[in-house]
Structure 1
Amino acid sequence: MNTKDLIKPILLIALPLIFSLSVSAQSEFYPVGYYRDAVRFSQQNPMGSARIRALGGAGVSLGGDISHAMLNPAGLGFMRKSEYHVSAGLGLTNSSASGTGVNGDAGQTRFFLPELGAVFSSSKSSSGGGSKWRGGAFAISFNRIADFNSNVSYVDRSNNPTSLLNAFEEASYGFSQGFMEEEKQFSPTTFAGMAYALDLIKPVFDRSPNDPNYYDENYYYYNIDRDADGFTTSRVSQRSQLVETRGGQYETSFAYGGNFDDKLYFGAKVGVQNINYTKTSNYVELREAELTSLGLTERFKTTGWGINLQAGVIWRPIDAIRVGATYTSPTWYALNDYYSASLTRNADYTWNDSTYQANHFRDGQSYIYNPGGVDLYNPNAANDSQKYSGVRSSHHDEIRTRYNMNTPWKASGGISGFFGKKGFITLDVEYIGYSAMKISKGTTYYFEYTMNPIEEELNFAGDNYILGEEYRNTVNIRVGGEYRLNKRFMLRAGYAYYQDPTKEEYRFVDQSRSFYSGGLGYRNNNFYVDLSVVYSQWKGTDSPYQLEDNFVDNEGNTVLIYPITDINYSRTEFQLSVGKRF
């Protein structure tokens, strides 16, 4: 399935300022675009203290670290002393764009706070008394569980025949001319409205306000500066894009782990998660003539809170073996998305609707986004030449969308083997239930702080269908080991592999992630310091716009004709953790 995801709230928008409009209703299965948010905020990184991260994030069966407030709260039952903990990190993210006629590199460096917290132990000695209950520990910890900081920058000279104009044409389908004229008169609230305000798209059947079809919802538009195939006459000679993403995903955990007979450890936690995500995209098309430049800037922001529950257990049948398991519920989120945009064009040419339609529409040869298959030739098109010149801009007012989202549930199992006091090896296998992803209860707010606020209820049936159809449950693997160099110093190494949740038939590239880690640690009775280095690699793609209508080959396969750029990402993170026992 191929769906456009240029702007989430482009359907069913109304303006009750002067006119009473009737706009197209959202199809029951048409995706609004928030399924991408559900996937983005469901993917996390190996997390925890520098010690745990140096082990590849493994530790479900390990115990004895403040990070078990998130990994497996049963592990807190191993902690004999209370402690304070703080971590600091530095992340360097690089991206490299590739493809035919495409090149570009970008980098981004950020300081971050990966973890801080405290453990309060009430452990009891195993000597004396007949009770097998050994007490436990309560922990409060703050953890960074995902990092969104990256820059992507590239220049594309691939001569792709499509243009942002084609995306505007598709986005305008279904809006009445009356609605579009209000978009032009007042601040646009739709993606297509910005283009209409700058005369970049035109109605096929140009009507006056007195025409009974002026508010006809089944309306068609075409972009100016097009050839008979629907592509721009003066092709894009160069397109460039800069995408900056910032923010992270965090969890504050309240966890308790207990110890029974130094054999069985169990625990539970409540996790409160927070999302702070921003994305700014600047896209520019350049041509040699006519519409010489077209630039679109989009600004996205997502904030919100969620809550989850976790329970875990660790069994130590003998001193050399530990086995652990956890179950984490979906995180139930309440989120707010904010979107605004601006569009600028520089043009210098003359246009005549009647002449163009006579040359291209009369024989039904002109390509226009036309899902209904309607005859789009207008014999009454105005024989009126219009001049388009100079620089003009249009701005999409900020809109807010409130919605609920469920991220996947998780089930993890692990085993650790100890070699006396020389060290250990630990392995985690984590099953991620992406089938639990769901979006619900969406409302978009327009003109929120004006005299005429508008609310629109959203139907997420299409988004939830895509989540069920295009994504799968996955398995993540984490493995790590520690070797004790002497009484005080430890050497650690680890690896983690996180599977791409997209089904193979729906992905452009495999976006699975690999994490390579290592580190050093120092311990004494009351103090510890750990250092870790984590290097990760993954692939992705970027498209400045997407088109719903593409070519279909002789075998019935859809061939995407909009520009798609391959992006290779890498990130190196340094983390220092310090703890004081008391």
Structure 2
Amino acid sequence: MKKYVIIIAFFTSLVSYAQTPDDALKLSWHTSNGTARNIAIGGVMGSLGGDITAANSNPAGLGLYKTNEFVFSPGAFIFNNKYNYRGTDTSNIKGNFSYGPIGFVFGTPSKYTSSAWTSTAFSISVNQMASYNNHTQYRGFNNYSSFSEQYLEELVRDQADTTAAAGNYIFGSSLAYRTYLIDTIRGANGSVAGYQSLVPISTGINQYYDAATKGGYHEIALGLAGNIEDKLYVGGSLIIPVVSYRRDFVYKETDATNNPYNQFASFTYSEQFQSNGVGIGAKIGIIYKPQNSWRLGFAFHTPQSISFTDRIRSQMTTNTESYAGTITETSDNLNNGNAGERKYRVITPYKMIGSLSYVFKENADVRKQRGFISADVEFVNYRGARFSVQNADDYSRTSYLNQVNDGVKNYYKGNFNFKVGGELKFNVFALRLGGAYFGSPYADDKLQVSKTLLTGGIGYRNKGMFIDLGYAHTFLNDVNFPYRLNDVANTYAVQTGSTNNIVVTLGFKW
């Protein structure tokens, strides 16, 4: 039997605590969502205003409202997934319902004609910022590393004895130990000299990854903005993020040689993971018109503090042939039939937005305007995400999450996103085009990661009613890590493919 002993390590992706640096990206690295108009112009809303999406981008844009408005924005999100994992290509398509902003804006002109404060606007809306409804699948041959090694790393890192190995890591390493995927190495005197994986990495294994995810990242926004002499607009939004996430995960490794005498045939790890969070944050901004047709905008999104409750169940089945046969163990069996539960807090990265717009034939009566062109530059400090415990007395989890925070700082960086878009008006109809580029959040420049958007749409506005259609096609360059190890280079799947976002917005003004 071959012995694969691993030195003390840091990262474990599916063990007793589960949070990893990768989790921070779910809340920060996503493209812009909004009304169909906002989608069609590439998400540029930093200096335009006059759209309910401003509450989630630059709330000062609400200050352009002097009347009331209701909007409803149903849509559809389609993932065209393409993965290459260690030379093997896989693909699938996943479609689901989505939505943009739904809510009200109430604009009120000042009662005093002599006042510099021209008007005030208030909004209440809910917007889906990201959809997690997807199905990620890939497979490939690997003679370099194994998913099982992360369990070795954890046991060695903690200097776990056999009692701890059997019972302290009931959602990961203990399942591997109890099914003999991980076993002890005995010293000359019979004592435990270390741990080993029975996976024959050197002769190669076939790896299978399958994760079906559901849920979304939503924002309830309460916005307030003011208009000073139709020249300076100031505003802010109180943001209540609401996050739901579910993952049904299956990972499998099988012996590529089909050798019935090497004491390993396969193992399968499955997991049901559910996470729900709610928090608070704020967004503030200004828009200034140095000249009638020009608009300058700046917005700052504070870090959001989101409290999460996670629930997890896991199971492992290992076939070690003549070594121990086929054994199945579950976390329920080790946890009195209950799901594991964790409570923690995430601080999301801050964001800054700078914007410039030019409006053709600027007029206080927007029906007489002939269009615009606008550009936004965003900076997002991805490495600023932080995890913390909700119970200050939980010292073991505090230590673990401090290590995860160190990982966030090492793995990620701050980076820029660029957006440009425009609109041409033809009486009651409008034609819109745009594009955007979202830069990589990873500090490792070898990871060629980005999102590039091409967008477009049309709109109709007449007699207090409007209907818009927006479409965004996103070209993906991303990576997916099936597991993370510390002592060897991490293997990952390269994601290309695309996403398609279609949104229809129906609105009424009065």
Q: Where on the TM-score scale, by shorter chain, does this alignment land: which range?
A: 0.7 to 0.9
Q: Contact conserved, 2:15 with 2:171, CA < 8 A, in 1? A: no
Q: Identify unmatched segments of 5+ residues in structure 2.
A: 1-8, 333-338, 362-368
Q: Does 1:536 align with 2:484?
A: no
Q: In structure 1, what is the equivalent of residue 495 of structure 2? A: 567
CA distance in 2, matches of 1:51, 1:207: 73
Q: Does 1:503 align with 2:471?
A: no
CA distance in 1, matches of 2:308, 2:398: 14
SS at match of 1:349: coil
Q: In structure 2, what is the equivalent of residue 168 of structure 1? A: 151
* Equivalent residues in 2 for 1:542-557, closer than 5 Å: 542-550=480-488
* Equivalent residues in 2 for 1:270-289, closer than 5 Å: 270-287=238-255, 288=258, 289=260
SS at match of 1:5: coil
- What displacement does 1:336 show? 2.0
Q: Does 1:428 align with 2:368?
A: no
SS at match of 2:109: coil
Match of 1:400 among 341, 347, 360: 341
Q: TM-score under structure 2 normalisation?
A: 0.87
Q: In structure 2, what is the equivalent of residue 178 of structure 1? A: 163
| Structure 2 CA distance for partners of 1:548 and 1:256, relative to 1, 3 Å | same
| Structure 2 CA distance for partners of 1:529 and 1:235, relative to 1, 3 Å | same
Q: In structure 2, what is the equivalent of residue 189 of structure 1? A: 170
Matched positions, count: 481
Q: Does 1:298 align with 2:271?
A: yes
Q: In structure 2, what is the equivalent of residue 576 of structure 1? A: 504
Identity of aligned residues (%): 26
* Equivalent residues in 2 for 1:24-103, closer than 5 Å: 33-103=19-89
Q: Does 1:139 align with 2:86?
A: no
| Structure 2 CA distance for partners of 1:470 and 1:415, relative to 1, 3 Å | same
Match of 2:16 among 9, 25, 32: 9
1:315-358 deviations in Å (ceiling 9; x for gaps): 123321111111221111111233321111234224xxxxxxxx
Q: Contact conserved, 2:293 with 2:359, CA < 8 A, in 1? A: yes
| Structure 2 CA distance for partners of 1:181 and 1:529, relative to 1, 3 Å | closer
SS at match of 2:153: helix
Q: Contact conserved, 2:346 with 2:386, CA < 8 A, in 1? A: yes
Q: In structure 2, what is the equivalent of residue 252 of structure 1? A: 220
SS at match of 2:241: strand
| Structure 2 CA distance for partners of 1:413 and 1:200, relative to 1, 3 Å | closer
1:234-257 deviations in Å (ceiling 9; x for gaps): 642x32221222211110110111
Q: In structure 2, what is the equivalent of residue 381 of structure 1? A: none
Larger Rg: 1
Q: In structure 1, what is the equivalent of residue 138 of structure 2? A: 154
Matched AA of 1:132: A
- What displacement does 1:101 show? 3.9
Of 278-287 and 264-273, the range deviating more from structure 2 = 278-287
CA distance in 2, matches of 1:172, 1:207: 21
Q: Contact conserved, 1:401 with 1:444, CA < 8 A, in 2? A: no
Matched AA of 1:274: V
Matched AA of 1:200: L
SS at match of 1:170: helix
- What displacement does 1:168 show? 3.3
Q: Contact conserved, 1:401 with 1:442, CA < 8 A, in 2? A: no
| Structure 2 CA distance for partners of 1:319 and 1:118, relative to 1, 3 Å | same
Q: In structure 2, what is the equivalent of residue 119 of structure 1? A: 105
Q: TM-score under structure 1 normalisation?
A: 0.77
CA distance in 1, matches of 2:144, 2:340: 32
| Structure 2 CA distance for partners of 1:57 and 1:458, relative to 1, 3 Å | same
| Structure 2 CA distance for partners of 1:286 and 1:524, relative to 1, 3 Å | same
- What displacement does 1:43 show? 2.0
- What displacement does 1:436 show? 3.2
| Structure 2 CA distance for partners of 1:8 and 1:115, relative to 1, 3 Å | farther
Q: Identify unmatched segments of 5+ residues in structure 1.
A: 11-31, 351-387, 446-453, 551-559
- What displacement does 1:206 show? 7.6
| Structure 2 CA distance for partners of 1:541 and 1:328, relative to 1, 3 Å | closer
| Structure 2 CA distance for partners of 1:168 and 1:86, relative to 1, 3 Å | same
| Structure 2 CA distance for partners of 1:48 and 1:159, relative to 1, 3 Å | closer
Matched AA of 1:115: P
RMSD: 2.6
1:85-125 deviations in Å (ceiling 9; x for gaps): 10000111011122544121111100112220001121248
SS at match of 1:504: coil
CA distance in 2, matches of 1:40, 1:518: 26
1:506-565 deviations in Å (ceiling 9; x for gaps): xx5222211111000000131000000101122222343333232xxxxxxxxx2x6432
Matched AA of 1:335: F
1:272-322 deviations in Å (ceiling 9; x for gaps): 001112222212222212422211112332211121112211112332111
1:189-248 deviations in Å (ceiling 9; x for gaps): 14111111112222223899xx9x78xxxx62112365xxxx36x642x32221222211
- What displacement does 1:153 show? 1.7
Q: Does 1:476 align with 2:483?
A: no
Q: In structure 2, what is the equivalent of residue 268 of structure 1? A: 236
| Structure 2 CA distance for partners of 1:320 and 1:116, relative to 1, 3 Å | same
Q: Contact conserved, 1:400 with 1:444, CA < 8 A, in 2? A: no
CA distance in 1, matches of 2:481, 2:123: 44
